[in-house]
Structure 1
Amino acid sequence: MTTRDIANLRVYNQHLNYNKFKKPEEVVGYMCAMQAQEYALAKWAIGLRMLSATDKAVEKAMTTGTILRTHVLRPTWHFVLPEDIRWMLSLTAPRINAGNATMYKKHELTDAVFNKSFNVFIKNMQGGKQLTRTEIVTALHEADIATDDLRLTLLLMKAELDQLICSGARRGKQFTYALLDERAPATKAIPRDEAVARLVSRYFTSHGPATVNDFVHWSGLTVADAKTGIEINKGRLSNINVEGISYWMSADVDLSKTKKSGTYLLPVYDELIIAYKNRDAIVPVKFHDKMGAITFFPTIMVNNQVIGNWSRNIGKKNIDIELKPFDKLSKAQSEAIETAVQRFKKFNGLA
């Protein structure tokens, strides 16, 4: 097995070119968590893994709460299912809060301030009320809680991590927050090792082949956690060694079904890129000096290899796509990319 095989298997296991899903929540559930701070393109990340996807269908899932958007890993925004959000936060929040401790102290956010803000959230959101950030600022100011600088962001994130609030339905283009108890039913708490095992199993199943360091990068947990989870799941996971590097993935993968072909317009922070500490497998050696552009901008992938960046300008009746290949495109590459462009336009209802 070669490094290129690693790339083909990742594309396959992330369901970009095999057995696509029918519903947004099926994608998110399989992937366990999907990075989602660039919201419009994060919806496209879900769409890429669906048979027949539209932006409206993914937005509807957010509106109805079949998928949620919150801070749950590292920390940054992620899509996650209501039935997963509590056990995941119970596992990851302590490390995120520890990492945020210096910022909490810098902005004078004590337990007393947090508790006072939480009471404001409960008072103003209970009964199904979903508030925009502007409305939340007003409510906090009425309670004499300052929201300048990063204080608002930190207050909201702490409330998310403490399983008090999560995403609500968007109101126009504005995001809202809602009480988690009203968006996600209560679930039974599970032991920490069981939660670690669950996260490890779902990561390596959906993202494998991946290394221990890849999991640590993605989850924000420790190497010890990764090894514990792998040991618990040793019957479900298989280990392969490529060029001296140890990778883990589901033991049920049918290697004969992996494909070397496939052309995609990947969104920025797509799981195929951002979920790994080392991205060499999906980037040709000659483009390794482009890692910054590949990490922080949307990318073009042809035959399971990144070959450039792209950007879009969406109008009311059309979408302009600008291709930024790292090298001259062949005719076959250009034709394949055009098909991917049309798929993106169709997703946005402007094909």
Structure 2
Amino acid sequence: MGASAKIRVTPKVMGRLRLASQGLLGGFNSVEECVSAMGAMQAQDLASAFWAVGQRVSGAGLSKVLEALENGTVVRSWPMRGTLHLVPPQDLRWILAITTDRSMRSVATRHRELGIGEADIATCRDLALERVAGSPGMTREELFKIFEAAGQTTSAQRGIHLLWILCQNAWLVQGPPAGAAGKALGQQLFVSFDEWIPESKVLDRGEGIAEFLLRYLRSHGPATLSDFAWWTQIPKAEVRAAHEAIRGQLVELVFRGTSYWLSPATAALLDDGVPGSRTVLALPGFDEFLLGYTDRSLVLPAEHFQKVVPGGNGVFKRMIVSGGQVVGTWSRSGTGSGGTGRGPGVELEPFTPEGLAPAARRSFELQAAKYLRFMAS
């Protein structure tokens, strides 16, 4: 199927195409391959991010994903939208070079309210770099104590904003999990960016936006340019210019009068029927399958949105996905097996009163078991 082809599709296949693009119908061979292909993966909640990777990497357990974070082959930072993501370490510097200025402008008023000026930033930068240099890293609390001793208050979120600024400017980065191999999936140590990531890929702004856009559309397609502009907060004019440079490597689908873009490999699935019509998945909250788009209605009908994001409070519940559509939510029911009759250690909350069909329920029980094995391995 040529890259210039225009293909019209029905709504029911759009979600399954996204499953295929995101590695949820086949998967990647390693944690590093997964994160690199996705470009960035939502990681505000670390446990959810690890399971998002686990669902895309064949045979991976929690220990394998933790190992990537501990070894620095994957890093967690704030590359865009002021939100933590997993990113390839070699790409973080050029991504920040694209996004940091706009991110800083978006919180300028808040920083003025907190009394954060250039001199404060310079003081905290020098203190932090002096203390983390050559060390395994320091926790957030340890750095806060150092800032406080120098007269830099860290209350009222001022401390976390200061650390965010140091990471945005590629002076610090979050490194290995703190504690016993991060088993509690809590905090990470802050380390020197240059020491933790000694080699970075070099791209100028135009090249970087084009690379980021291409990676996004390949891994999230079918998606729109507006989806990417929202995802990264890169101005639409620059997104459109980048698209002109890479559109020959993509396929266009027209849906309801809007152009969606995806890789030729994913578009080729349309020739013989898009797989995944019977696939049932237990996805984490905050998964890119839903969160990675400005318009989520293709896979989650508007009438059910509040069931995934109650009150629109920004907290996304774990999702049951069937045939490429979100059909319910799920939660842990404990650390053991059984107890509910609804799968080992998992509670289902389907959107409809009739619930999942028997075959879909059996498939979900296998997913629940897979999740529990992942968390224990």
- TM-score calculated relative to the size of structure 2: 0.88
Aligned counterpart in structure 2 of residue 182 of structure 1, from 177, 180, 195: 195
1:311 aligns with 2:336: no
Given that 1:230 and 1:237 are in contact with CA atoms closer than 8 Å, whether structure 2 keeps it comes out as no
**1:8 matched to which residue of 2?**
16
1:300 aligns with 2:320: yes
Equivalent-residue separation in structure 1 for 2:64 and 2:251 (angstroms) = 35
Secondary structure at the counterpart of residue 23 of structure 2: coil
Q: CA deviation at 1:158?
A: 0.4
Q: Which ranges of structure 2 fall in alignment gaps of 5 or more residues?
A: 1-8, 339-343
1:194 aligns with 2:214: no
Equivalent-residue separation in structure 2 for 1:109 and 1:314 (angstroms) = 43
Aligned counterpart in structure 2 of residue 262 of structure 1, from 263, 267, 279: 279
Aligned counterpart in structure 2 of residue 218 of structure 1, from 201, 206, 231: 231
**1:325 matched to which residue of 2?**
350
**2:294 matched to which residue of 1?**
277
Q: CA deviation at 1:271?
A: 0.4
Residue range with higher mean Cα deviation, 68-77 or 182-191: 182-191
Equivalent-residue separation in structure 2 for 1:157 and 1:287 (angstroms) = 34
Equivalent-residue separation in structure 2 for 1:189 and 1:143 (angstroms) = 36
**1:149 matched to which residue of 2?**
156
Equivalent-residue separation in structure 2 for 1:257 and 1:88 (angstroms) = 36
Q: Deviations over 1:184-222 (max 9, x none)?
A: 123354221111101110000100000122111211112
Higher RCO by CA contacts (8 Å cutoff, separation 6 or greater): 2
Secondary structure at the counterpart of residue 151 of structure 2: coil
Q: CA deviation at 1:170?
A: 1.3
Aligned counterpart in structure 2 of residue 109 of structure 1, from 116, 120, 123: 116
Give the length in aligned residue pairs: 349
Secondary structure at the counterpart of residue 177 of structure 2: coil
- Aligned identity (percent) is 30
Q: CA deviation at 1:285?
A: 6.8
**1:29 matched to which residue of 2?**
36
CA 1:335–1:234 in 2, change beyond 3 Å: closer, same or farther?
A: same
**2:372 matched to which residue of 1?**
345
Secondary structure at the counterpart of residue 202 of structure 1: helix
Q: CA deviation at 1:261?
A: 2.8
Secondary structure at the counterpart of residue 145 of structure 1: coil
Amino acid at match of 2:101: P
CA 1:248–1:61 in 2, change beyond 3 Å: closer, same or farther?
A: same
Amino acid at match of 2:274: T
Q: CA deviation at 1:289?
A: 6.0
Equivalent-residue separation in structure 2 for 1:337 and 1:144 (angstroms) = 54
CA 1:229–1:167 in 2, change beyond 3 Å: closer, same or farther?
A: same
Q: CA deviation at 1:72?
A: 0.6
* RMSD over equivalenced CA pairs, Å: 1.9
**1:239 matched to which residue of 2?**
252
Q: CA deviation at 1:10?
A: 0.4
Equivalent-residue separation in structure 1 for 2:366 and 2:201 (angstroms) = 46
Equivalent-residue separation in structure 2 for 1:176 and 1:91 (angstroms) = 25
**1:58 matched to which residue of 2?**
65
Secondary structure at the counterpart of residue 214 of structure 1: helix
CA 1:140–1:316 in 2, change beyond 3 Å: closer, same or farther?
A: farther
Secondary structure at the counterpart of residue 85 of structure 2: strand
Counterparts of residues 35-114 of structure 1 (less than 5 Å): 35-114=42-121
Amino acid at match of 1:24: V
**2:172 matched to which residue of 1?**
165
**2:220 matched to which residue of 1?**
207
- TM-score calculated relative to the size of structure 1: 0.94
Secondary structure at the counterpart of residue 123 of structure 2: helix
Q: Which ranges of structure 1 fall in alignment gaps of 5 or more residues?
A: none
